[in-house]
Amino acid sequence: MAKNIKIFTLLLSCFAFFTFLFLTSAKTANACHLDDQWTCEPACMGRAGEPLGCDGVSPPVCDIWECTPNCFDTPPPPGCPSPTYPSYPTYPTYPTYPSYPTYPPTYPTYPTYACSTDADCDDNDACTTDTCTDPGTPTAACSNTGACPSYPAYAPTYPVYPAYPVYPTYPGYPTYPAYPAYPSYPAYPSYPSYGNPSYPSYPAYPTYPSYPTYPGYPTYPGYPTYPSYPSYTLGPNPPTDPTGDNWATSGGVVPCGQVRLTFKDQANDEDGFYLYRTNNSTPPSPTGAGSPYLLQTFGPSAGVSGILTHTYTPTPSGTVYYYWASAYNAVGESSLLEFAGLADTICAANLSTSDKDIVAINGDVLGFNQCGITDSLPAGTKLKLNDILKFSINLCNTGNLQASTITLTDNLLNLKQPPGGWNAKYDSGSGEVNIASVGINLSVTGSPPNQRLTFTGIPNIPAGGALPSIRRITFEGQLAIPTGYSAATGRMQNCFRADYNNGSGMTFTSACTPILPFQTGPGIPTIIEVP
């Protein structure tokens, strides 16, 4: 019994194992998943011999279920059709581009000799010596020694070359060749020196290389135009600048109010001379015929070493100015000759040193007639009532211009007209004459003993301030006292004022004698001892 149970158990295990293999292989072959399409095939017969349907809620156990594989899986399961892909287009064949030539072409190098004769070294400069060393050989060399004064450097600005266009870059296309380099501009030659027989020729500008033409490539921009060389005209040198200095401006050499300039010609090719004036030591600029500082233009001076002089009256007088002289011709103007700052001497009359003296008492001459201050009377001189005094008004002009339009007034204190009259005289240095003979008029105002004498029509007084330029007006007066005056001593004084034109306008000067006492009655008798 036990043996039979073991055999049954073994058979049951084999059945279960083969059933498992069958189910596993069927599921794997069907490869069914939740998203596959399921179909039902009835396998059992229903009642009345009809197959059982598969639309029940739960299909019959005896039904066989199958599924159609989902070909959208990746990768698709077996049984799915192969995918169809679109045809790819045919790409065109790229053209073969021609080889580009090399620009600029290379030329063979020829041997060059610097010179074969001295003439080959001629630099067209009259101021240099031209020499060819080792002529006609590879070591030949030119040397030009000596030099003339050169022109200032001429350095115009050349135009900027335009930039080449940028070529586009295409994938797989060849690289465009580099543009040829622009040629360098030539250097301007040195200026010739003044006096050269001719100017050197300017070097020719280089020729620009032709632009290459490439199919389909953009066109090169045009080359810029070379600037024109300047032209020069030969001519003589500017003249040599003059030399010299100014003359004196006072002391009789030049009248007051004037400046005299003199300078010496140093050239024989000038067309003339310019004289300029400025307010300070800065040279005039601009110069020439249209300069605002031009004072005078002179014609040429014959030969060399001619002296040119200009006398000038500055305005206003006494102002310091700076003066400059130059020579000029068609080529240009010489350097400037500078005169030091100069001021003219102001013209003016000056009667400030005029004075008044007592020159005689009762006919006794004391002899004072110089200018300065009023002279004192001699020691021991005593004045008394009714003495007749002779006064001299000394008009002294220490200026440099004559005094004109002169009026003289004289105020008398305790003086009156003498019995013989005022006896007024005028002395021009040649002796006294009656005032009427020289056109001087005298008028008297006031009452004795305090009166005023006025002299008009006085001749002009020359400059100088010393004899014979001193002019004198003299008159006499008698000591007096007012009516009713009873004191034993009186006082006398005489003052004058001279109004005159000093050249710039009217001014005046004045002076007085000291206050002098005099006796009005008999004096104390003098004791004379008798031996």
Residue 445 confidence class, pLDDT cut points 50, 70, 90: very high
- Asked if residue 296 lies in contact with residue 303, where contact means CB atoms within 8 angstroms, the answer is no
- Whether 382 and 513 map to the same domain: the answer is yes
Identify which has the larger pLDDT, 62 or 219: 219
Q: What is the largest CA-CA distance in the chain?
A: 232
- Taking phi over 0 as left and psi of -120 to 50 as alpha, with beta for the rest, 244 belongs to left
Question: Do β-strands 516-519 and 383-384 pair in parallel, antiparallel, or remain unpaired?
Answer: parallel
So what's the pLDDT on residue 399? 87
Nearest to 147 by CA among 176, 168, 126, 132: 126
222-236 average pLDDT score: 64
Range of the domain at 49: 27-85
Which of 282, 317, 343 marks a domain boundary? 343
Q: Residue 48 contacts by C-beta under 8 Å, 6 or more apart in sequence?
A: none
> pTM for this structure?
0.48
CATH of the domain at 471: 2.60.40.1290
Residue 500 lies in a domain: yes
- Whether 365 and 504 map to the same domain: the answer is yes
Nearest to 287 by CA among 301, 300, 299, 273: 273
Please tell me the total number of residues recorded for the chain in this structure: 531
- Asked if residue 510 lies in contact with residue 498, where contact means CB atoms within 8 angstroms, the answer is yes
So what's the pLDDT on residue 315? 80
Could you tell me the two tokens for 115? 């010179």
- Cα–Cα distance for residue pair 185/226, rounded to 1 Å: 8
- Whether 376 and 501 map to the same domain: the answer is yes
350-368 average pLDDT score: 89
- Whether 327 and 386 map to the same domain: the answer is no
Which of 313, 343, 373 marks a domain boundary? 343
Element (H, E) at 508: strand 506-512
Residue 427 lies in a domain: yes
- Taking phi over 0 as left and psi of -120 to 50 as alpha, with beta for the rest, 79 belongs to left
Q: Which of 79-93, 191-205, 425-439, 515-529 has the lowest mean pLDDT?
A: 191-205
So what's the pLDDT on residue 194? 43
So what's the pLDDT on residue 153? 47
Could you tell me the two tokens for 74? 């990746």
- Whether 379 and 339 map to the same domain: the answer is no
Nearest to 518 by CA among 483, 493, 484: 493
- Cα–Cα distance for residue pair 526/531, rounded to 1 Å: 16
- Asked if residue 295 lies in contact with residue 312, where contact means CB atoms within 8 angstroms, the answer is yes
- Whether 495 and 375 map to the same domain: the answer is yes
CATH of the domain at 318: 2.60.40.2150
Q: Indicate whether 523 pLDDT > 60.
A: no
Could you tell me the two tokens for 31? 């490869």
Q: For residue 491, which phi and psi values (nearest 5 degrees)?
A: -130, 140
- Asked if residue 294 lies in contact with residue 276, where contact means CB atoms within 8 angstroms, the answer is yes
Q: Which of 33-37, 119-123, 229-233 has the lowest mean pLDDT?
A: 33-37
- Whether 370 and 312 map to the same domain: the answer is no
- Asked if residue 404 lies in contact with residue 460, where contact means CB atoms within 8 angstroms, the answer is yes
- Asked if residue 454 lies in contact with residue 407, where contact means CB atoms within 8 angstroms, the answer is yes
Nearest to 394 by CA among 371, 424, 422: 371
442-455 average pLDDT score: 95
Nearest to 423 by CA among 388, 457, 395, 447: 388
Cβ neighbours of 415 (radius 10 Å): 24
- Single-letter residue type at 338: E
- Whether 208 and 327 map to the same domain: the answer is no
Total structural domains in the chain? 4
pLDDT digits (tens, 9 = 90+) for 91-114: 667 667 666 566 555 655 656 778
Residue 435: DSSP 8-state: G
Q: Indicate whether 415 pLDDT > 80.
A: yes
Q: Which of 79-83, 305-309, 379-383, 426-430 has the lowest mean pLDDT?
A: 79-83
Percent of the chain exceeding pLDDT 70 equals: 59
- Cα–Cα distance for residue pair 71/315, rounded to 1 Å: 124
- What is the rounded average pLDDT for all residues in the chain? 76
Q: CA torsion, points 203, 204, 205, 206, in degrees to nearest 10?
A: -110
Residue 348 lies in a domain: no
Residue 10 lies in a domain: no
So what's the pLDDT on residue 125? 76
pLDDT digits (tens, 9 = 90+) for 143-157: 888 766 544 444 555
C-alpha dist (Å) from residue 15 to 19, 64, 288? 6, 21, 141
- Whether 68 and 124 map to the same domain: the answer is no
- Whether 229 and 254 map to the same domain: the answer is no
- Cα–Cα distance for residue pair 124/113, rounded to 1 Å: 20
So what's the pLDDT on residue 479? 95
Residue 22 lies in a domain: no
Terminal-to-terminal C-alpha distance of the chain:
232
β-strand partners of 67: 38
- Whether 302 and 182 map to the same domain: the answer is no
Which of 205, 235, 265 marks a domain boundary? 235
Q: Indicate whether 409 pLDDT > 70.
A: yes
Residue 122 lies in a domain: yes
pLDDT digits (tens, 9 = 90+) for 177-188: 666 666 666 665
Residue 527 lies in a domain: no
Residue 2 lies in a domain: no
- Whether 364 and 508 map to the same domain: the answer is yes
Residue 123 confidence class, pLDDT cut points 50, 70, 90: confident
So what's the pLDDT on residue 436? 96
216-221 average pLDDT score: 68
Could you tell me the two tokens for 481? 């006292």
So what's the pLDDT on residue 256? 80
pLDDT digits (tens, 9 = 90+) for 254-301: 778 888 888 888 888 899 999 999 999 999 999 999 999 999 999 998
Q: Which of 218-227, 267-276, 434-443, 474-483 has the lowest mean pLDDT?
A: 218-227
